Amino acid sequence: MTIFAVIRVRQCCEDVEGCDCVMTYPTEQEAQDYVQKEKDEWATTWNKKREYVEAFVENIKLPDTDYKGWLEFLETYKDYLGRYTFPKDFKKELTSSLIRREAKLEGFSPPAVTGSFNNLFVVEIRT
């Protein structure tokens, strides 16, 4: 008898931390369909988060101030930006940072990203 397992690999950079069997299916196609569903869900929720973050950052009004005032303004975002982010790069760099990280900013509550992107694999198991 053959079954097909969907395996989730837990990995951080180059280090594999482990793996889990997520589901088993009687056919390879069913297992592949599950993997594709997870990838589609990830893409949909990732895009919703990206759109939310872009809109949030776009609504931030940049201060018309001197250099010292700019550095004070950056203190609000110190956990998400470099200390010397230039005004012309502010929105691009903050958007990039907020998409990748969990952030605690007033009024910021992006939708969660769910599903799996590239860590699910189908494995054939013969018993």
**What does the pLDDT look like over 59-68, one tens digit per residue?**
999 999 998 9
Residue 12 has pLDDT above 80, yes or no: no
Cα dihedral 31, 3, 7, 19, rounded to 10, equals: 170
Domain count along the chain:
1
Q: How far is CA 36 from CA 30, 42, 47, in A?
A: 10, 10, 16
Range of the domain at 105: 2-126
pTM over 0.75, yes/no: yes
Residue 93's CB is within 10 A of a number of other CB atoms, namely 16
Residue 85's pLDDT is what?
A: 87
d(CA 84, CA 93): 11
Return the H-helix or E-strand segment holding 75: none
| Average pLDDT rounded to a whole number, residues 88-103 | 92
Residue 97's pLDDT is what?
A: 93
